[in-house]
Chains A and B, each alone.
Chain A
Amino acid sequence: EIVLTQSPATLSLSPGERATLSCRASQSVSSYLAWYQQKPGQAPRLLIYDASNRATGIPARFSGSGSGTDFTLTISSLEPEDFAVYYCQQRSNWPAFGPGTKVDIK
Chain B
Amino acid sequence: EVQLVESGGGLVQPGGSLRLSCAASGFTFSSYSMNWVRQAPGKGLEWVSYISSSSSTIYYADSVKGRFTISRDNAKNSLYLQMNSLRAEDTAVYYCARDKNWNYVWYFDYWGQGTLVTVSS
**Residue ranges of A at the interface with B (Cβ–Cβ < 8 Å):** 34, 36, 38, 42-46, 49-50, 55-56, 87, 89, 91, 94-100
Which of B45, B47, B61, B107 is the one whose CB lies under 8 Å from A46? B107
Q: How far is the CB of B109 from chain A (nearest CB, A)?
A: 5
Contact with A along B37-59 (1 / 0, CB 8 A): 00000001111001000000001
A87 in contact with B108 (CB, 8 Å): no
B45 in contact with A87 (CB, 8 Å): yes
Judge if B106 is at the interface, Cβ distance under 8 Å.
yes
Which of A34, A94, A99 is the one whose CB lies under 8 Å from B107? A34
Which of B45, B50, B105 is the one whose CB lies under 8 Å from A89? B45
A87: chain B residues at CB < 8 Å are 44-45
B47 in contact with A95 (CB, 8 Å): yes
B44 in contact with A46 (CB, 8 Å): no
CA distance A83 to B105 in the complex (A): 28
**Residue ranges of B at the interface with A (Cβ–Cβ < 8 Å):** 35, 44-47, 50, 59, 61, 95, 100, 104-109, 111-114
Report, nearest first, the 4 A-B pairs whose CB atoms are least far apart.
A43-B111, A91-B106, A95-B47, A97-B45
B112 in contact with A98 (CB, 8 Å): no
A55 in contact with B111 (CB, 8 Å): no
B113: chain A residues at CB < 8 Å are 42-43
A34: chain B residues at CB < 8 Å are 107-108
A49: chain B residues at CB < 8 Å are 100, 104, 107
CA distance A94 to B46 in the complex (A): 11
B61 in contact with A94 (CB, 8 Å): yes
A44 in contact with B45 (CB, 8 Å): yes
B35: chain A residues at CB < 8 Å are 95
Q: How far is the CB of A52 from chain B (nearest CB, A)?
A: 13
Which of B50, B95, B100 is the one whose CB lies under 8 Å from A43? B95
